[in-house]
């Protein structure tokens, strides 16, 4: 009976809940809540229960706000970097591209100049070298001006000089006018690389410098590519005078772009401006770097600019078309090598490895390539000479090393002095190689293989000595590096 009564009571409650539309679970919760309201402890439990989602909502809101703030900051950083690329990087890259073009374009115009103006081989040699003479002589003064006045003013002014020199060269009717025009061009583009490197130091983070240096050298080296087949086609199509007139206009546009687009740099403190070249010349890290950097990079420039073609013609027996093709591929390798070295230096820096380690490795590879050339190992000539050309882009690493050694106020002078050694080494290597080679008598206009092997071997000895000086264990512990002050 009791069971039946309880069942009827339960059925009645169910009917009542159905009529009200209330569930048993909901009614139980309401009853417990009403009973719990009588005690403070239950109130505290309920407060804690309701506080959990409130805190969660607050945390989620803070996370959303942080995410939005981070996104805005990232967008602002990207916009700032884009502005710097457009206003700083591209104007100086354009100037460096033109300097490379002016440096290497003389080879494709030599026959046209000799035919039209009756120039001798000696005249052509002097006309080619005067560019480097004014270029080298201006390096130290330019370095001092860069530190004093900033890359914008120096580069903008000198590019005007280069435009005037190109216009004078295009209008020349005598050898003396050609010589003066070429000298003005060399002076006008003398700051192209060092001003660009200093601009990167001033406006971009230090950890990005190897990559940006690599990009600058890569894009600038496209001028050497333009000075091969494209320049030869333009000379044949419109003439060398018209080509230099076009280059004069492009150089003037570059000068205007630098003047109006590049932002002004912060004033240099008087104390920093008073620091002389003595600081650079007395730094042992600078003299640890110079012999290796100058001997390897100067040799690469000298071989790509002159002796690679002679070797390919005299030793390998290639015709003119094959030699020009090798020079074109070497120019491409120089550009690609600059980018590759920049990327490699950037990746290694993220792992705590400085650019001096990579520079030592690049020098090792370059020495091995020259050994293969001298011993005439059975390796593809394109591979070997592309390795030589790519070494010329190691300035990417040398300037990055100097950026770690000297403050921003001294980078102009330090880079200028190092660049002077690079150009001077290229001169010495070109001249010494010629002196050694001419000790042998040519056969049907071609010097023997042993002449080039002897000249290259003598220069290689200097590079090996410089490499040993650079990596001496007592001053170059790989775990710490030698470049820390």
Cα–Cα nearest to 126, from 145, 140, 149, 110: 110
Please tell me the predicted confidence (pLDDT) of residue 473: 57
Would the pLDDT of 58 be above 90? no
Q: Average pLDDT for residues 291-295, to the nearest whole number?
A: 96
Give mean pLDDT, residues 261-282. 66
Which position has the higher pLDDT, 114 or 161? Answer: 161
Position 39 scores a pLDDT of 44
Residue 440 to residue 424: CA distance in whole angstroms:
26
Which range among 147-151, 168-172, 398-402 has the greatest average pLDDT?
168-172
Q: Do residues 406 and 285 lie in contact, with contact meaning Cβ atoms separated by under 8 Å?
A: no
Q: Is the pLDDT of residue 118 over 50?
A: yes
Instruction: Write the pLDDT tens digit of every residue in 214-254.
Output: 888 888 888 988 887 888 888 889 999 999 999 999 999 99
Residues of the chain by 3-state class (helix, strand, coil), percent to 5 = 85, 0, 15
Domains of the chain, residue spans:
39-78, 88-470
Q: What would the two tokens of residue 17 be?
A: 């809940």
Whole-number Å distance between alpha carbons of 91 and 369: 35
Residue 448 scores a pLDDT above 90: yes
Query: Shortest CA distance to 383 belongs to which of 339, 333, 340, 335?
Result: 333
pLDDT band per the 50, 70, 90 thresholds, residue 67: very low
Indicate the pTM of the whole model: 0.69
Average pLDDT over residues 306-332: 87
The residue among 298 and 130 whose pLDDT is bigger is 298
The per-residue pLDDT for 335 is 87
Token code pair at residue 136: 């080298």
Angle, helices 121-137/139-149, rounded to nearest 10 degrees: 30
Q: Residue 62's pLDDT is what?
A: 53
Residue 73 in this model has a pLDDT that exceeds 70? no
The Cα 198–Cα 415 span in angstroms is 8
CATH number of 88-470: 1.20.1250.20
Best CA proximity match to 166, nearest among 158, 178, 174, 154: 178
Give a three-class secondary structure readout of 160-203.
HHHHHHHHHHHHCCCHHHHHHHHHHHHHHCCCHHHHHHHHHHHH
Q: What is the pLDDT of residues 160-217, one digit of tens each?
A: 999 999 999 999 988 899 999 999 999 999 999 889 988 988 888 877 887 888 888 8
pLDDT at 482: 45
The reported pLDDT for the residue numbered 26 is: 53
Structure-block tokens of residue 189: 């583009």
Average pLDDT in the 290-317 region?
90
**What whole-number distance in Å separates Cα of residue 485 and Cα of residue 406?**
9
Check if the beta carbon of residue 293 is closer than 8 Å to that of residue 394. Answer: yes
What pLDDT is stored for residue 266 in this prediction?
A: 58
pLDDT of the residue at 254: 96
């Amino acid at each position: 009976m009791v069971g039946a009564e309880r069942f009827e009571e339960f059925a009645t409650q169910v009917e009542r809940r159905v009529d009200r539309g209330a569930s048993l679970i909901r009614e139980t919760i309401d009853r417990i809540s009403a009973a719990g309201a009588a005690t403070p402890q239950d109130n505290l439990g309920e407060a804690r229960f309701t506080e959990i989602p409130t805190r969660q909502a607050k945390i989620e809101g803070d996370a959303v706000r942080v995410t939005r703030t981070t996104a805005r900051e990232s967008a602002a950083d990207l916009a700032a970097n884009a502005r710097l690329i457009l206003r700083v990087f591209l104007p100086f890259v354009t100037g460096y591209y033109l300097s490379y073009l002016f440096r290497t374009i003389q080879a494709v115009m030599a026959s046209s100049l000799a035919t039209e103006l009756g120039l001798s081989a000696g005249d052509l040699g002097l006309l080619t070298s005067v560019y480097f003479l004014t270029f080298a002589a201006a390096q130290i003064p330019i370095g001092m001006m860069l530190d004093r006045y900033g890359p914008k003013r120096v580069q903008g002014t000198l590019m005007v000089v280069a435009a005037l020199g190109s216009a004078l060269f295009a209008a020349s009717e005598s050898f003396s006018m050609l010589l003066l025009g070429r000298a003005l061009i060399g002076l006008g583009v003398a700051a192209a690389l060092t001003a660009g490197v200093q601009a990167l130091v001033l406006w971009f983070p230090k950890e990005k410098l190897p990559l940006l240096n690599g990009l600058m050298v890569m894009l600038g080296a496209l001028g050497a590519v333009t000075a091969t087949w494209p320049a030869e086609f333009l000379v044949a199509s419109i003439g060398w005078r018209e080509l230099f007139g076009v280059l004069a206009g492009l150089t003037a546009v570059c000068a205007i772009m630098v003047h109006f687009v590049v932002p002004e740099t912060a004033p240099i403190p008087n104390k920093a401006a008073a620091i002389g070249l003595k600081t650079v010349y007395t730094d042992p890290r600078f003299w640890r770097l110079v012999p290796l950097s100058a001997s390897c990079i100067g040799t690469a420039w000298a071989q790509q600019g002159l002796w690679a073609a002679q070797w390919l013609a005299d030793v390998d027996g290639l015709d003119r078309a094959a030699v020009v093709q090798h020079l074109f591929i070497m120019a491409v390798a120089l550009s690609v090598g600059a980018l590759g070295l920049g990327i490699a230096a950037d990746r290694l820096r993220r792992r705590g490895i400085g650019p001096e380690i990579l520079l030592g490795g690049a020098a090792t590879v370059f020495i091995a390539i020259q050994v293969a050339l001298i011993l005439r190992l059975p390796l593809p000539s394109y591979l070997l000479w592309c390795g030589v050309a790519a070494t010329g882009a190691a300035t990417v690493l040398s300037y990055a090393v100097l950026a770690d050694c000297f403050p921003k106020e001294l980078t102009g002078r330090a880079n200028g002095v190092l660049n002077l050694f690079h150009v001077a080494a290229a001169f010495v290597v070109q001249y010494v190689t010629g002196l050694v080679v001419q000790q042998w008598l040519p056969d049907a206009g071609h010097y023997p293989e042993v002449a080039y092997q002897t000249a290259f071997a003598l220069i290689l000895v200097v590079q090996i000595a410089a490499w040993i000086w650079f990596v001496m264990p007592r001053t170059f512990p790989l775990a710490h590096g030698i470049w820390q002050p």
